[in-house]
Amino acid sequence: MPYLYRKDEDSIRDISYEFFQFFRYSEMQDKWAIEILRLMDGNRKFIKIFDELWLYNFARLITQINLFVRSGNIYKYKFLEHLKRFYYHAVNIDNPITIANIDKIREVEVYAYTQLLKIMFENAEDKDALFNRYGVNWCIELIQSDRYKGILSKHDIISIFFEETLKIANKNIEEAFAETLSVYYQKVEISTIPSHLKPEAIKETIKENRNLSTSEYEITRKKLFSL
């Protein structure tokens, strides 16, 4: 059955299935990725309000990157620099009240953010220092600046970042989270910080997560070596 492409009245369309087929085997995945976002962006001179297809296309593309990346150039800071511009545009909502399916949009935006964190911090050995630093600075920017205009609060952003840090669990993302958390504590009103994001709660969650991981490993080891 052929894919049913979505299209809005401003001629923004879904990225095609065929594009992703080509993307998977291309040796220039970084250029393909940025060019398709540009082509599917519509004419911004006439389209000023949020369009959910921008967000859907962005989320689908970065998922493909995480699943099928083959080009080392994606792991250069310049790629993140281009990607950030399209991300901010994709999530830019002037007035959330006007969005009919706001819960779905929120779900997709949360998903897109987790995929971005995977691009930036998973498989750290494949990425150079400049790429890693750019990723850290971008995470801090989401908390520190007003450039982000999506529907997630700063509390949401740091909570999602913390969850992904526990999942990915490497030195790069842990250091990035620590830096971003410090900025979060400086930026928000102390009285508004949810209980699960306070320093002692963060530390306790990390401790519990490490204990759980150790416990699971011990059980697995006993199963393997008990005769």
Question: Within a domain: residue 160?
Answer: no
Closest CA to 10 of 44, 34, 61: 44
* % residues pLDDT > 70 (the chain): 82
Looking at residue 43, its pLDDT comes to 52
Question: Within a domain: residue 209?
Answer: no
Question: Within a domain: residue 198?
Answer: no
Sequence length of the chain is 227
Question: Within a domain: residue 165?
Answer: no
Chain centroid, CA 127 distance in Å: 17
Question: Within a domain: residue 84?
Answer: yes
Q: What is the mean pLDDT of residues 34-45?
A: 71
C-alpha–C-alpha distance, residues 136 and 121, integer Å? 9
Residue 50 has phi, psi (to 5 degrees) of -60, 140
Question: Where would I find the H helices in the chain?
Answer: 17-25, 29-39, 52-68, 77-91, 102-121, 129-144, 154-168, 171-187, 199-225
SS3 of 227, please?
coil
* C-beta of residue 102 within 8 angstroms of C-beta of residue 155: no
Which tokens belong to 178? 């620590």
Looking at residue 18, its pLDDT comes to 78
Report pTM: 0.85
Those residues with Cβ within 8 angstroms of residue 178's Cβ, 6 or more apart along the chain or in another chain: none
Band (pLDDT 50/70/90 cuts) for residue 210 is: confident
Domain count, the chain: 1
Q: What is the mean pLDDT of residues 139-163?
A: 96
C-alpha–C-alpha distance, residues 112 and 133, integer Å? 20
User: pLDDT per residue over 64-78, tens digit each?
Assistant: 999 998 767 889 999
Domain coverage including residue 136: 17-153
Tell me the average pLDDT of the chain: 85
Band (pLDDT 50/70/90 cuts) for residue 2 is: very low
Q: What is the mean pLDDT of residues 208-219?
A: 69
Lowest mean pLDDT among 12-21, 43-52, 184-193: 43-52
Q: Cα separations (Å) of 165 from 32, 118, 155, 188, 220?
A: 29, 10, 15, 21, 23
Bridge-partner residues for 13, per DSSP?
A: 7
Band (pLDDT 50/70/90 cuts) for residue 25 is: confident
* C-beta of residue 137 within 8 angstroms of C-beta of residue 84: no
Question: Within a domain: residue 92?
Answer: yes
Question: Within a domain: residue 12?
Answer: no
Question: Within a domain: residue 220?
Answer: no
